[in-house]
Structure 1
Amino acid sequence: MRKALFILAPAILLGGCGVLSGKRATLDEFAVARNAPLVIPPDYSLTPPVAGTVGLTAQDAQTQAIEALFGGPAPRSATETSMLDSAGRDRAALGIRSTAGAPDTRVVDKGQATQAIIAAPEGDGQDASAQTPQ
């Protein structure tokens, strides 16, 4: 009885898949959809590199990548330009954010009044006061 079970169980399982009967249901992937015709890409302006010429430097490649991702600098409106000019854009040092965040930058303590203004809860502005609470 056990031998018959060991022989019949795999035969029944494989018979359900169609392995023993020789019939295999295969899909024809070409019958589902037509293949699109091959087309030549519209841009053939790229040429292969010439031996002995200098390629892009790392800085050029980085600049090209940034321009491709972000599109370069956006033009500023007249209002924004005039506001930046009146704020002294030409007098600002390049990299000032790095300088201001440096550990050796001196910070001036403005006292309790500034801390009270910063810590004040948000309101509609009618009851605003710059005096420190007593």
Structure 2
Amino acid sequence: MSRRFVASVCCLIAASVALSACGNARKTLGLEKKAPDEFAVVARAPLALPPDFQLRPPEPGKDRPQEKSTSDQARASMMGSGGTGYGYGTSQSAGESAFLRQAGADRAQSDIRQVVNRESSTLAEESRTFTDKLIFWRDEEPPGTIVNAEEEAKRLRNSQALGQPVNEGNVPSIERKEKALLEGLF
């Protein structure tokens, strides 16, 4: 055997040993096992013969009617079989009902979400710190377009004089001028 052949075999063996320790090389060469994603596996509803033989056959690609969506399955597993939770007024044991009554669940405010939103928006406005004022020193422009009142009045008078509908034509608006980087700072 020639020396060159032995050297190339030795280099090939050394490279394969070195590359076998690399995870990416093993994956690239197809030597690594690919396990299925355990979160992507969804239990399928069992096949059953429908009691009504007048039903139409299923169409390929459409969802199965007997199968719940994954969000409904998650809600049912978290909240119980009904998926409605253990709120006041649902089917509970006598002990759960007594506990909820003592906790005041029957006297809960119906508009609590609006109250919390109003209070949290007030707190968010008040909690503007010095750093926020320093970084976000410009007030935001109000959304929408500003209608030029004088030009719009002229347009409406002209439309009325010509007998055209008032919603026909372009509404004149005031274009906001884009501010420079340091404009309004001093």
Above 0.5 in TM-score? no
User: Higher relative contact order at CA 8 Å, sep ≥6: structure 1 or structure 2?
Assistant: 1
Normalising by the residue count of structure 1, what TM-score does the alignment of the two structures yield? Answer: 0.30
Normalising by the residue count of structure 2, what TM-score does the alignment of the two structures yield? Answer: 0.24
